[in-house]
Amino acid sequence: MNAPRTEGWEGRLSAAPPPARRLGGLRVWQNNQAWLTPLLLLVLPVGLFGLLIITPIVQSIWISFYDWDGTGPATWVGLSNYAELFSDPQFYTSLKNNVIWLVLFLLAPVFGLALALFLNQALPEMRLVKSIFFIPLVLAHVIIGVVFTWFYDPTFGLLAILFNWLGLEPLAILSDEHFVTFGIIAAALWSQIAFCLVLFLAGLSQLDQELIAAGRMDGAAGWSLLRHIVLPQLRSVSFVASIITVIMSLRNFDMIAVMTQGGPYGSSTVLAYQMYDATIFSYRAGYGAAIATVLFAIMSVYIAWFLWHTLRREARGG
């Protein structure tokens, strides 16, 4: 941001001419509007955000210490929901799947960057081509899930036809406990790659042309130019793309719900889905809240990292 940073107008307020004498109430307002205005502006947004986002986080953590079916009386059970969770084999399946999601999702920035480099050309039709590559980004995960479910259908899906054509027995991806998670991740990656592509294309368009020209002058080209001159300039984009990708990977719910409902027998369940399953199907709000709290704790690490990065950049001045 190139705007010159000044002291801010507040420093000059006292120099403003004194307000004309009017009705008492109005005068109080006029004398104090400099500090009342921001408060008035913030009341509603902060109130809503506090009521519906911040308070529920605290409440959920609180509920996780209770045995509660969602409506009746709740009994304080201390840490026993957590004790049960840590001895629940489903928890470890979910956690393992979360790790698989996280690791494979990090392919999205890599592919996104590769695709961005591939598409960063000034052909006349490029605008349209790029928009087509962006489309998965605006599609609902539910729709992507429906389409891929059908792709994977073991009797008449495109994949089954491909397998038959190759002379192989079709693989029922979504009912095989070993492949199911990978099948869902492949569908989710489609839109996540598109997201990273948008970021990297924007990053590439902002490269310092002089640095690149100088690099070329020094004989750098291709890979070495990418490594030593281009990538360092994309550091910030890569960071944001990676962190958001990680957060997305941990948050994924829609596709699992639509494609497998966590099955077969819980093998594609992740923490986010297990929490929903425990609360909605098994009426165990306390246990569900404990799962959510664990997920929240894991994600807090990345959220904090992102916050730190953003605030530090703020402090540096934009």
Partner 1 sequence: MYPAPIQERPRAVRIGYRVSLYAAMLLWMTPLIAIMMTAIRPQADLLAGNYWRLPSHFALFENYREVFATSPMGVFFLNSVVITGVTVIAVLVLSTMAAVALAKYPLPGRTLLFAMFIGGNFVPYQILMIPVRDLVLQLGLYDTVWGLILFHTAFQIGFATLFLRNFIAALPNELFEAARLEGASEFQILRKIIVPLLRPALAGLAVLIFTFVWNDYFWALVLVQSDAAKPLTLGLAGLKGEWLTAWNLISAGALFAALPPVALFFLMQKHFVAGLTAGAVRG
Partner 2 sequence: MESYKTSIRNFLVTNPPDVAFWFTGARMKTFTKRGLFDDMSGFFAENNLTDVMKPWLPAVSEGDKQYMMPTNFTTWGFFYNKQVFEKVGVAPPATWDELMAAAAKIKAAGVTPFTIGTRDLWANALWFDYLDMRMNGLDFHMQLMDGKASYTDPRVKAVFAKWGEPIGKGYFLDNASSYGWQEAIPFLAQGKAAMYLLGPYVLTSLPAEVHGNIGFFPFPVIDPSVPKAEEISVNGVTIPSGAKNKPLARSFLAFLAQPDNLKAFALGGAVLPARTDVDVSGDAFAQSQMALAKNAQGSAQFYDRDTDPEMAQVGMKGFQEFLANPKRSDAVLDRLEAARQRIFK
For residue 291, state whether it binds partner 1 (rule: CB under 8 A). Answer: yes
Residues numbered 141 to 160 that lie near partner 2 (CB under 8 A) are 152-154
For residue 264, state whether it binds partner 2 (rule: CB under 8 A). Answer: yes
For the chain, what is the largest distance between any 2 Cα atoms, rounded to a whole number of angstroms? 91
CA proximity to 112, closest of 238, 205, 259, 291: 238
| Cα torsion angle, 260, 261, 265, 271, sign | positive
Token pair belonging to 245: 């990708």
- Minimum CB distance to partner 2, residue 165 (Å): 19
For residue 147, state whether it binds partner 1 (rule: CB under 8 A). Answer: yes
For residue 165, state whether it binds partner 1 (rule: CB under 8 A). Answer: no
Residues numbered 153 to 212 that lie near partner 2 (CB under 8 A) are 153-154, 172, 174-177
| Nearer residue to partner 1 within complex by CB, 183 or 288 | 288
How many residues does the structure list for the chain? 318
Token pair belonging to 72: 């009746």
- Residue-wise DSSP of 252-265: --HHHHHHTTT-ST
For residue 45, state whether it binds partner 1 (rule: CB under 8 A). Answer: yes
What residue 261 binds from partner 2, partner 1, none (CB within 5 to 8 A, per partner kind)? partner 2
What residue 33 binds from partner 1, partner 2, none (CB within 5 to 8 A, per partner kind)? partner 1
Looking at 40-48, 105-113, 121-129, 274-282, which segment touches partner 2 (CB under 8 A)?
274-282
- Minimum CB distance to partner 2, residue 268 (Å): 10
Residues numbered 223 to 282 that lie near partner 1 (CB under 8 A) are 225-226, 229-230, 236-237, 240-241, 247, 250-251, 253-254, 257-258, 271-272, 275-276, 279
For residue 73, state whether it binds partner 1 (rule: CB under 8 A). Answer: no
- Minimum CB distance to partner 1, residue 134 (Å): 7
| Nearer residue to partner 2 within complex by CB, 215 or 263 | 263
- The residues that bridge with 67 in the sheet, in sequence order, are 75
CA proximity to 174, closest of 144, 143, 147, 153: 153
CA atoms within 13 A on the CB side of 101: 28
For residue 83, state whether it binds partner 2 (rule: CB under 8 A). Answer: no
- Cα separation, 60 vs 106, whole angstroms: 29
| Nearer residue to partner 2 within complex by CB, 86 or 281 | 281
Residues numbered 104 to 133 that lie near partner 1 (CB under 8 A) are 115, 117-123, 129, 131-133
Three-state DSSP at 45 gives: helix
- Residue-wise DSSP of 50-102: IIIIIHHHHHHHHHTTEE--SSS--EE-TTHHHHHHHT-HHHHHHHHHHHHHH
- Cα separation, 303 vs 129, whole angstroms: 34
- Cα separation, 281 vs 109, whole angstroms: 36
- Minimum CB distance to partner 2, residue 145 (Å): 13
- Cα separation, 155 vs 163, whole angstroms: 11
CB 252 within 8 A of CB 139: no
Applying CB under 8 A, the residues found at the interface with partner 2 are 69-72, 84, 89, 152-154, 172, 174-177, 260-261, 263-266, 277, 279-284
